[in-house]
Structure 1
Amino acid sequence: MELKDKIKKFCNSLGLNNIGFIECKRFDDLEKFLKYKKEKGILNEFEEEDIEKRIDPKLLMKEGKTIISIAFPYFYEDVKKDLIYFSKYTLGMDYHIIVKEYLNKIGEYIVELGGNYKCFVDNNPLPERYIAMKSGVGFIGKNNCLITEEYGSYIFLGEIITDLYIEEDKPIKNKCGECNKCTKACPTKAILNWDTKNNASGINNNSNVCLSYINQKKQLEDVWIKKIGGRIWGCDTCQDVCPFNQNIKKSNLEAFKPIEYMKKPNLEELSTLDKRTFNEKYKSIACSWRGKNILTRNTFIALKNIKKEIPHIDKFNSPYVEEYYNKIKNLK
């Protein structure tokens, strides 16, 4: 059995079915587009500014020969949204932790096969969707999400760079059509139409005005506060309307099973969130990395936007929370 087949079979044994392989080399075709984005000032604060780090994976592992891209489905069960809600991807355990655990298991198997590895999930400079697209894990839709045939776009991505040489996979056909449902539904019109001749990335949005980015920011202008609606964290709008996310296969990864208190948020608790409660209940959730104050602020925003009363608070545990409490309460 070839290396690729052995690794795929091992991944399958873990419940992972979407795996792709691509040569670990400089992504020359991405350089022009990333420079264009930088010149236009539409990189967001969470994106790596050093373009070379984004297009040359050998800076992460000099001896790397192959990048393995793996999709981790998280749509475990249908959850009826309340007017105030968390994005689907935050309903289960923190994917940063879970995906890393899976990647390390696969990495240990690669060591058994005679290789070395480094694994990556989310907070790294790799162009994850581009790698997944090039390696045939899925295609990139107009909503800028990586869409898989089995699980739609409700997936997390993880990567392993190894010094084993494994034959590349080919991209699959891009099946995104002309329905434009995501473009029409986007509340901030973040989905754009780039010049495709200069854009090898497949990404066509201004993430600076995407609500998934906006409600993670520390400072918010009034116009964005109103746009957030009832979203405590993230935004599923462009994914929920996508035809490729209808009648999809559900995840068998139990770590992503929605937690009861995430399915129906306790708004009073979130409005007065203290450190102890945050650590006990929310520390292991994907949205915890921005801290408790952002969750509390976003709860105030959601309550205001759906015209529910924001609880009266006499004592604040943070000047930041107090500032936004007063700002949001008085917002016209």
Structure 2
Amino acid sequence: MSQTLKEKIKLAAKEIGIDKIGFTTAEPFDHLKESLEEQQAAGHSTGFEHRVLEERLYPEKIFDRPKSIISIALAYPSKLNNPFPQDKENRRGSFARASWGIDYHDILRDRMNKLIDFIKEEASTATFKPMVDTGELIDVATAERAGLGFIGRNGLLITKEFGSYVYLGEIITDLEFESDERVPFGCGDCMRCITACPPSALLGDGRINGRVCLSYQTQTKGYMEEKYRRQITHVIYGCDICQLVCPYNQGIDSHIHPEMEPTPEEVQPALKPLLTISNKDFKEQFGHMAGSWRGKKPLQRNAIIALANYRDQTALPQLIEVMEEDPRPMIRGTAAWAIGQIQRYKNEALIECVADQLAKETDPETVEEMTKALETLRTKRLPRSMR
């Protein structure tokens, strides 16, 4: 395929609102096979990945006669323009930056569809298969091979212009393009992301133990293991720690796309109202965000944990109400745990309250959580004035 069409596509991409574009072959990614198999065997996969390994590695398994892959990147903001100040009476949680604004899957699909429409005008018989991170191919591997950046030790694609604050998508096509030059590995001896990760999820070579990654932990639906609860601090979806410490991200804050602009009310939600939010209000406030894809239950659980991490005394009445009245055992149990963490001194009335609720529980995990919460409350000391 002529270089002219490639240049035309690059120019069109800029007009469409694509921040970086690269081209690579549709050759297999079979050099990743052993690594992916090792990750699966070690239990490091999250289950969110595409399940057919062969389809992740071989474009010909998912597309008829593929010749090239076009990889794109869109830069997203890293800072809020008007963040809420700290308010001890109204504690707020936070969403990781990749969930700010409209769901990035929708934004990327829109840009890729517009790019495909343009290419079809130039090459009407060509065929295409666009995908985002819910597709078969591995976004970062494709983007690296297409020259958009390099995969850092944190497993994210790092670009020269935007750091790792980019969304990635790719398009398989039967058009043939010359491949772009790859970007060499640029982390050197830097290990900041490795040492900063609270659960030590980063393995040091770009691979991640996804099961212990805090971003994954915020997206699980059952009880969160206690060892991760303190580590998520007040974040109710995702994790940005390995991005925040990366030298390539220092000073990077891209406000290019209006759809990605966050509003403080959405990405710094008040925690206490979130505990009892209706399905309708949840959908209206958060439904357009990528962080809502697992529904409200994990976010409510995380909000309870965040209140516990804040040691928010003002939340105790509402947490007691949630423990006693919420129909979901996991939410009741997490609320009981939070009560045990927040309450400072021994309080017989509160002990009796949790004990009464424990007597009604039948779910084994919830019984265990409430039993531990009760033990925590019973071991607390009386205030000095009452000793």
Structure 1 length-normalised TM: 0.91
In 2: Cα distance, 1:193 partner to 1:267 partner: 35
Bigger relative CO (Cα 8 Å, ≥ 6 apart) = 1
Percent of pairs with identical residues: 36
Letter in 2 for 1:169: D
Letter in 2 for 1:269: P
Q: Secondary structure at the match of 1:322?
A: helix
Instruction: Tell me if structure 1 keeps the 8 A contact 2:194–2:204.
Output: no
Aligned counterpart, 1:248: 252
Q: How does 1:61-76 map to 2 (within 5 A)?
A: 61-75=63-77
Q: How does 1:215-226 map to 2 (within 5 A)?
A: 215-219=218-222, 220-226=224-230
Letter in 2 for 1:211: L
Instruction: Tell me if structure 1 keeps the 8 A contact 2:49–2:134.
Output: no
Cα deviations by residue, 1:150-206 (Å, 9 ceiling, x for unpaired): 111011101111111111112112221323211121111111135xxxxxxxx3221
Q: 1:260 to 1:249 in 2, by over 3 A?
A: closer
2:13 to 11, 15, 26: 11
Q: Secondary structure at the match of 1:290?
A: coil
In 2: Cα distance, 1:234 partner to 1:252 partner: 22
Q: Runs of 5+ in structure 2 lacking a partner?
A: 87-91, 341-372, 377-387
Aligned counterpart, 1:200: none
In 1: Cα distance, 2:99 partner to 2:251 partner: 21
Cα deviations by residue, 1:113-138 (Å, 9 ceiling, x for unpaired): 22221110111221110111111101
Letter in 1 for 2:332: E
The answer to whether 1:22 aligns with 2:24 is yes
Aligned counterpart, 1:299: 303
Aligned counterpart, 1:308: 312
What is the number of equivalent residue pairs in this alignment? 324
The answer to whether 1:264 aligns with 2:268 is yes
Aligned counterpart, 1:184: 195
Aligned counterpart, 2:166: 155
2:339 to 324, 329, 332: 329
The answer to whether 1:214 aligns with 2:217 is yes
In 2: Cα distance, 1:118 partner to 1:261 partner: 36
Instruction: Tell me if structure 2 keeps the 8 A contact 1:76–1:252.
Output: no
2:149 to 138, 142, 158: 138
Aligned counterpart, 1:197: none
Letter in 1 for 2:204: N
Structure 2 length-normalised TM: 0.79
Q: Which has the larger radius of gyration?
A: 2
How far did residue 317 of structure 1 move? 5.5
Q: 1:42 to 1:260 in 2, by over 3 A?
A: closer
Instruction: Tell me if structure 1 keeps the 8 A contact 2:234–2:306.
Output: yes
**What is the RMSD computed on CA atoms of the aligned residues?**
2.0
Instruction: Tell me if structure 1 keeps the 8 A contact 2:95–2:237.
Output: yes
2:291 to 269, 287, 290: 287
Letter in 2 for 1:99: L
Instruction: Tell me if structure 2 keeps the 8 A contact 1:76–1:256.
Output: no
1:43 to 45, 50, 56: 45
Q: Runs of 5+ in structure 1 lacking a partner?
A: 195-202
Instruction: Tell me if structure 2 keeps the 8 A contact 1:274–1:317.
Output: no
Q: 1:78 to 1:21 in 2, by over 3 A?
A: same
Higher helix share: 2
Cα deviations by residue, 1:272-330 (Å, 9 ceiling, x for unpaired): 12111011111101111100111111100111112114324354264443343234434
